[in-house]
Chain A
Amino acid sequence: MTIGDLVEEGTYPFHSRFKRAVNFTDGRRLISVVDETIGDGPLNIVLPGFEPGTSHDPLQIRTGTVVFEGREYPVTSRYSSVIPGKPRNLSRFDITTAPPKSLAFLIDETRERNFRAGFERGFVQHVKQCVHQIFHGDRLAGIRQLKGTGLGLTPSGDDFIAGHLIGLNLRGEPTDEVFEAARSENIFSNTFLDLARQGRISGRMKNLILALMTGRGIRECTEQLFAVGGTSGADLVTGFYMTARA
């Protein structure tokens, strides 16, 4: 079992359960027990091959052990979520295989044709206006308008902002104001936005940055990120790429 470097000792009540993750909370953020397909993260506990049961027991983190659904597991390693360095060259980054409904249309506008229904067209226009504001106008106003935009647990807008925060960290720019502007009532989004604010990233994002630093395995690492969620991975990468290259 690998445990993220920001997981602290304590007892955490049950929050929610998904196919590949069981979430616990300290009231402010989520600590997640996940399988290896989701993988490492600053607040993830990776338990290979686990199948979520039905227990609502709290998660207990002790020195060297984790008690999850009544079973005690030894901690074998700690995952370091610190950004490993600065990519040398972003030119080999490729969004071709990003999911059609992701925000990759911000990089390749021909992808806008994937958004056909009335709401989808409105979504595209709204996102474009917000992102223009972020990069060419009042950044915080753009962030406030973009947050919560899109579907699901972590709306596309929030994923993009998380990528933006990682990019800002990479450039050594302040992130607190952006995070405050992006904060909402959504604990899923707040958790990963706060991590991005601190420059803490998942294993897949770390692998992509390492690939961009070394020039090796960029395609594989990009595709692994694109496979996260419906569009979450691609939305995150879009925000990161646009910020890092700006």
Chain B
Amino acid sequence: MITGHIRKGSYFDSVTLMRVGKEITNLPGVIDAAVVMATASNKAILDSSGLLAGQFKDAGDTDLVIAVKAETEAAAKVALETVDALLKKPATTESRPVSLSGALQILPDANLALISIAGRYAGDEAMRALEAGLHVMLFSDNVLLEKEIALKKFAAKRGLLVMGPDCGTAIINGVPLAFANVVNRGDIGIVAAAGTGLQEVSCIISNAGAGISQAIGTGGRDVKKEVGGIMFIEGLNALAKDEQTKVILLVSKPPHPEVLKRINKVLKTIRKPVVRMFIGASPGTLEDASLQAVSLSRGKQPRVAVTRTKIPKLKPRRKYIRGLFSGGTFCAEAQILFGKDAYSNAPTGKSKQLKNSLKSQKNTFLDLGEDEFTVGRPHPMIDYSLRNKRILEEAADPETAVILLDVVLGYGSHPDPACELVGVIREVSRKVAVVCSITGTDKDPQNRSRVAAALKKAGAIVMPSNAAACKLAGSIVQCR
């Protein structure tokens, strides 16, 4: 049913009307709603959206109309009453500072700045934050290497952290920052120079019943020779001192040998158990390392669910894996686990460089988060259009046996990945095996179980981790 009312001669600013519109749209039983001035244009849009109640036709430019489409009369009544209450209530003071100093005036006790601006400006802004005594999470990429080194040296002298540049995720004192998941709090502290790697281990730990004290991202370049692992070591020392942290888990692609030497030197001074997962250099997988940390935390082995899968019948010519990843760490882990000759746009281990990233060769593992795919468009964790197109192309290749996917949930990621993927999976799973891992928890806004159920229903095989998905994909093609 569609209903509404008119408030004659009422002016509200757009911030208030947006807030009210959003709140009533989220009410149970409300299908759609709009709170707008009754201009001719807005009435035309209300009409085309099926929200134009009969009485609105006489409202004019200076009148406010509240339109509600609801499942029941009762739901509509609640929505209209809610609007009245919200419009009477003074708007919460919204602060939109335009500078760091402005933000500090509003929040003088803040001790961390999250910086996400164009890379060429981000370094200077980060330095201003450090000078103000703040820890920094630097989400921005394209920060000059020399700038990164200067920032990290400056911070280390003052006992501050610089997480990044290009640090996509962290969990500090239980607060997820940027692309992070809603995980249990607990006693396992993580330092990671691999963003999706950090998300994967924190989710596996949480799903196994343990929890995270702190998860410190450093940005992938930190463990390179030039930066020298400054923040990896600072993070490690911070967790060593942190009373909430009983077990430390380190995640990274293999650090430069000189950096590894420094890390090992620090590790000798730490009295807490430390699990190391340097993908490609350490034995095992991200999942193995996570479960080992859980076992150290809880003093017993975690129970691991056995996933039974039915492999679809494939035509004999179909013999290759096509891994289409949104997370760079997952793409790297897949290549390491596959072990044999494969192709990638971001080769790791024994893989070879793909000649043309738009065309797969034999077993191919693609990192769709690489710059070549993301310039001028959102990251594939947010925008599924590019990957969906590629899934269809790969399935149309008569040699593709398995399409291997990662689905990353949590803050910042697509709010409804199942909705994006179900259509294409349904279409291609008749021809190829679709094997997915889901990085997330049931507390994430998307809800892991709900996403898993939807993908399974569409025909995908959902595995509990990226490693498990990669191993299954490998088994399918090896059997052929």
Task: Point out the residues of chain A lying under 8 angstroms from B42, CB to CB.
Answer: 148-150, 155
Q: How far apart sit A227 and B96, CA to CA, in the bound complex (Å)?
A: 7
Q: Tell which of A118, A147, A185 touches B62, judged by Cβ atoms closer than 8 Å.
A: A185
B41 interfacial contact with A, CB 8 Å: yes
- Contact status of A97 and B117, CB under 8 A, knowing A122-B49, A152-B13: yes
In the complex, are the beta carbons of B12 and A153 less than 8 A apart?
A: yes
Stretch at the interface among A56-64, A83-91, A168-176, A229-237: A229-237
Task: Point out the residues of chain A lying under 8 angstroms from B18, CB to CB.
Answer: 101, 151, 230
- Contact status of A232 and B41, CB under 8 A, knowing A119-B49, A122-B49: no
Interface SS majority for chain B? mixed
B contact residues vs A (CB 8 Å cutoff): 11-18, 21, 25, 31-37, 39-42, 44-46, 48-51, 60-62, 67, 69, 96, 98, 117-118, 121, 377-378, 383
Q: How far apart sit A122 and B34, CA to CA, in the bound complex (Å)?
A: 11
Q: How far apart sit A185 and B59, CA to CA, in the bound complex (Å)?
A: 12
- Contact status of A122 and B118, CB under 8 A, knowing A110-B378, A151-B18: no
Q: How far apart sit A101 and B60, CA to CA, in the bound complex (Å)?
A: 24
How close is B411's CB to chain A, nearest CB, in angstroms?
15
- Contact status of A186 and B13, CB under 8 A, knowing A119-B33, A151-B37: no
Residue of A97, A122, A156, A232 with highest tally of chain B CB at under 10 A: A122
In the complex, are the beta carbons of B14 and A119 less than 8 A apart?
A: no
Q: Tell which of B13, B35, B60, B377 touches A153, judged by Cβ atoms closer than 8 Å.
A: B13
Other 15 A-B pairs with CB < 8 A, given A130-B41, A155-B37 = A96-B118, A110-B377, A110-B378, A117-B21, A117-B32, A118-B31, A126-B41, A150-B14, A151-B36, A155-B41, A157-B41, A186-B39, A186-B62, A219-B118, A223-B98
Number of interface residues of A (CB under 8 A): 43
In the complex, are the beta carbons of B14 and A118 less than 8 A apart?
A: no
Interface string of A142-180 (1 = CB under 8 A from B): 000111111111111100000000000000000000000
Q: How far apart sit A169 and B403, CA to CA, in the bound complex (Å)?
A: 55
A216 interfacial contact with B, CB 8 Å: no
Task: Point out the residues of chain B lying under 8 angstroms from A148, CB to CB.
Answer: 37, 39-42, 61
Interface string of A124-143 (1 = CB under 8 A from B): 01100010000000000000
In the complex, are the beta carbons of A155 and B46 less than 8 A apart?
A: no
Task: Point out the residues of chain B lying under 8 angstroms from A126, CB to CB.
Answer: 41, 44-45, 48
Task: Point out the residues of chain B lying under 8 angstroms from A147, CB to CB.
Answer: 39, 41
Q: How far apart sit A232 and B17, CA to CA, in the bound complex (Å)?
A: 13
Task: Point out the residues of chain A lying under 8 angstroms from B96, CB to CB.
Answer: 227
**Which residues between 189 and 246 of chain A lie within 8 Å of chain B, taking CB atoms?**
219-220, 223-224, 227, 229-232
How close is A207's CB to chain B, nearest CB, in angstroms?
12
In the complex, are the beta carbons of A117 and B25 less than 8 A apart?
A: yes
How close is B208's CB to chain A, nearest CB, in angstroms?
34
- Closest chain A residue, CB of each to CB of B44: A126
How close is A131's CB to chain B, nearest CB, in angstroms?
12
Shortest 5 CB-CB contacts between residues of A and residues of B: A148-B39, A152-B14, A230-B14, A119-B34, A149-B41
A94 interfacial contact with B, CB 8 Å: yes
How close is B69's CB to chain A, nearest CB, in angstroms?
7
Task: Point out the residues of chain A lying under 8 angstroms from B383, CB to CB.
Answer: 110, 113
- Closest chain B residue, CB of each to CB of A157: B41
- Closest chain B residue, CB of each to CB of A102: B14
Q: How far apart sit A229 and B14, CA to CA, in the bound complex (Å)?
A: 7
Q: How far apart sit A232 and B13, CA to CA, in the bound complex (Å)?
A: 10
Task: Point out the residues of chain B lying under 8 angstroms from A101, CB to CB.
Answer: 18
Task: Point out the residues of chain A lying under 8 angstroms from B121, CB to CB.
Answer: 219
> Could you list 5 examples of A-B contacts with CB < 8 Å?
A117-B34, A118-B50, A119-B33, A119-B67, A184-B39
Q: How far apart sit A99 and B268, CA to CA, in the bound complex (Å)?
A: 49
In the complex, are the beta carbons of A118 and B51 less than 8 A apart?
A: yes
Q: How far apart sit A110 and B376, CA to CA, in the bound complex (Å)?
A: 10
How close is A32's CB to chain B, nearest CB, in angstroms?
14
In the complex, are the beta carbons of A117 and B13 less than 8 A apart?
A: no
Q: Tell which of A16, A96, A146, A184 touches B61, judged by Cβ atoms closer than 8 Å.
A: A184
In the complex, are the beta carbons of A231 and B14 less than 8 A apart?
A: yes
- Contact status of A119 and B46, CB under 8 A, knowing A110-B383, A230-B18: yes
Task: Point out the residues of chain A lying under 8 angstroms from B60, CB to CB.
Answer: 185
Q: How far apart sit A109 and B67, CA to CA, in the bound complex (Å)?
A: 27
Q: How far apart sit A153 and B12, CA to CA, in the bound complex (Å)?
A: 6
In the complex, are the beta carbons of A146 and B41 less than 8 A apart?
A: yes
How close is A233's CB to chain B, nearest CB, in angstroms?
10
In the complex, are the beta carbons of B117 and A232 less than 8 A apart?
A: no
Q: Tell which of A122, A219, A230 touches B13, judged by Cβ atoms closer than 8 Å.
A: A230
How close is A88's CB to chain B, nearest CB, in angstroms?
20
How close is B7's CB to chain A, nearest CB, in angstroms?
14
Q: How far apart sit A153 and B61, CA to CA, in the bound complex (Å)?
A: 10
- Contact status of A149 and B45, CB under 8 A, knowing A185-B61, A230-B15: yes
Task: Point out the residues of chain B lying under 8 angstroms from A145, CB to CB.
Answer: 41, 44
In the complex, are the beta carbons of B41 and A117 less than 8 A apart?
A: no
Residue of A123, A147, A186, A219 with highest tally of chain B CB at under 10 A: A123
Task: Point out the residues of chain B lying under 8 angstroms from A186, CB to CB.
Answer: 37, 39, 61-62
In the complex, are the beta carbons of A151 and B378 less than 8 A apart?
A: no
Q: Tell which of A117, A121, A130, A153 touches B14, judged by Cβ atoms closer than 8 Å.
A: A153
In the complex, are the beta carbons of A229 and B15 less than 8 A apart?
A: yes
Task: Point out the residues of chain B lying under 8 angstroms from A18, CB to CB.
Answer: 13
Task: Point out the residues of chain B lying under 8 angstroms from A125, CB to CB.
Answer: 48
How close is B375's CB to chain A, nearest CB, in angstroms?
13
Q: How far apart sit A102 and B459, CA to CA, in the bound complex (Å)?
A: 38
Residue of A125, A148, A219, A232 with highest tally of chain B CB at under 10 A: A148
- Closest chain A residue, CB of each to CB of B120: A219
- Closest chain A residue, CB of each to CB of B25: A117
